[in-house]
Chain A
Amino acid sequence: MEWQFFVELVTNGMLTGLMYALVAVGFVLIYKSTDAINFAQGEFCMIAAIVVAGAIKLYGFPVWVAIGTGLLFMLVFNWGLERVVLRPMIGRPVVAIIMATIGLALMFRGLGPLVFGAETRPIPLPIPDQPIIWGPFFMAPIDVLGAVISIGFMAVFGWFFMKSRKGVAMRAVADSHQVSMAMGINVERYFVLAWMLAGFVALLGGLVWGSAIGVDTQLAALGLKVFPVVILGGLDSIVGVIVGGIIVGVVEAISAGYIDPFVGGGTKDFTPYVLMILVLMVRPYGIFGKPIIERI
């Protein structure tokens, strides 16, 4: 049935999109507090997944312990990264920080297989293998889990960011480092917090994507993959990331379902970028991005 096919494409696109959003929100976190774009977010997901999968495979850890290990690792890893690489760069041009994250990304991508081996490993989450069939909906359990984790994280993080005092301080830091300091806000501590949060969400992203497609250095490509999501949504909006993720997921699914059969496949790999460029032409800040306020 034609409409059933369409519904299936859209639901699965939405689920995938929410999983993209989980990776994309890592960009938003860093951008909102430091004004820099962290090109290593995809690599963070890869590292987190490699640690979890490695702990299971090499040391025989139970899944939950392995996830705990991964979490601890990511928090410490990103804390250290902020301290050693990024803090000395505070006050430098944003471009310098962006270049540093690109350098880090390439380094991690090269080091990952050296340290953990190049084979593809699974992350066996305790979820059923059979697809969930619910009326016309036909969904992979890992996609559903990924979408639920994504929505859960966004809700909690969104509350923290918009409503809590620490969230307000974090946004103040994003608005102006100098003025925040003049309010008694320890700006450096909020940078660390942002990077550790980015590490945490990378663990979530690494887990769901790692169990969906397997763990190897390919995971790092997620970073570029979600770039249209980030740009579509606007680099600094949580709602934007969710909407952007869903749009990209659905566009991918629909082009894979309707266009690929005619051209022999592969369109879903670039349609999100086409969309991204179109949106940028109309709305340079993305759909939900904040415009630069200009009034004298």
Chain B
Amino acid sequence: MLKLNNVEVIYDGVILVLRGISIEVEVGSITTVLGANGAGKSTTLKAISGQLKAERGEVTRGTVEFEGARIDHLQAHEAVQMGIVQVFEGRRVFEHLTGEENLIAGGHIVSTPVMKRNMELVYEYFPRLYERREVQAGYLSGGEQQMLAIGRALMSDPKLVMLDEPSLGLAPMIIEEIFGIITKLNEQEKTTFLVVEQNATLALNLAKYGYVMENGAIVLEGNAAALKENADIKEFYLGISSGEKKSFRDVKTYRRRKRWLG
């Protein structure tokens, strides 16, 4: 369905952020991209959704293909027309619009009957959004905002939904609820998901296939089950093998040292 081939992204004409990454997302799957802060995860999603231009970034090498068509130079609103929608890091709801108006805006490109049908569907999956539909989105809780951001993305009948760190800043219970709904949407509505996460345990339990990104390059990929067993992942992202949880800072210095020695 989606294929990134050796994609290189440069911001401001000089800042090289993605150094030739290749990612593939299969129809109906949930795929994840893991990586620490600054690895280039969000940039990867923006390269797919046509959001780079707004930040003066550009795909300078490689190709992004969606259902066989080149999409690496589309505008953001054209990408939505093609069925790709991105849920931003940090939720980014329209704060001054009510929950329901956020959904209406999310269904901008579909006809009114389809929009209404999708809204019902969203309310079915996220009953909390129905209860809170008249509230200005800026006053919703973080969990409710994340639900709204995902629900809003579903309004345009997307084929591929990309979630940028959906667990960010949320309590474990809410995360579990939201990830449960994502799984359900994937199984029942056949929506394809590409999920960017820093929380590897969560992401690898959710996804079927995963990529690990570091410094703008893919350093590891494989089935989620296999990645969970991978020694490096255990060490650096799951914090298992050493017995104690390591912070990203530890991981980074360790990595650096390893490269230095290697």
Which positions in A face B, CB cutoff 8 Å? 91, 165, 168-169, 171-172, 174-187, 290, 293, 295
Contacts and interface: CB of A to CB of B under 8 A. Distances in A.
Given A165-B108, A183-B105, A183-B106, A171 B96 contact: yes
Contacts of B51: 178, 181-182
B80 A184 contact: yes
B108 A185 contact: yes
Interface stretch (B28-36, B87-95, B179-187, B252-260): B87-95
B49 interface: yes
B80 A179 contact: no
B108 A169 contact: yes
B139 A295 contact: yes
A176 B94 contact: yes
Given A171-B96, A290-B96, A181 B105 contact: no
A5 B104 CA distance: 51
Contacts of A179: 88, 92, 94
Given A172-B105, A178-B76, 20 more contacts: A91-B54, A165-B108, A168-B101, A168-B104, A172-B94, A175-B95, A176-B94, A178-B51, A179-B94, A180-B105, A181-B75, A181-B76, A182-B76, A182-B86, A183-B105, A183-B152, A184-B77, A186-B77, A293-B96, A293-B136
B81 interface: yes
18 contacts: A165-B112, A168-B97, A171-B97, A172-B97, A172-B108, A175-B95, A176-B92, A178-B76, A179-B88, A182-B88, A183-B77, A183-B105, A183-B106, A183-B109, A184-B85, A184-B109, A186-B77, A295-B139
B94 A175 contact: yes
Contacts of A187: 77
Interface in B220-258: none
A231 to B, nearest CB: 19
B55 to A, nearest CB: 9
Contacts of A168: 97, 101, 104-105
Contacts of B102: 172
User: How big is chain B's contact interface, by range?
Assistant: 20 to 34
Interface string B151-187: 0100010000000000000000000000000000000
B179 to A, nearest CB: 22
Contacts of B75: 181
A182 B89 CA distance: 13
Interface in B86-131: 86, 88, 92, 94-97, 101-102, 104-106, 108-109, 112, 115
B106 to A, nearest CB: 5
A267 B67 CA distance: 70
A168 B51 CA distance: 22
A175 B96 contact: yes
Contact of B95 (A165, A169, A185, A293): A293
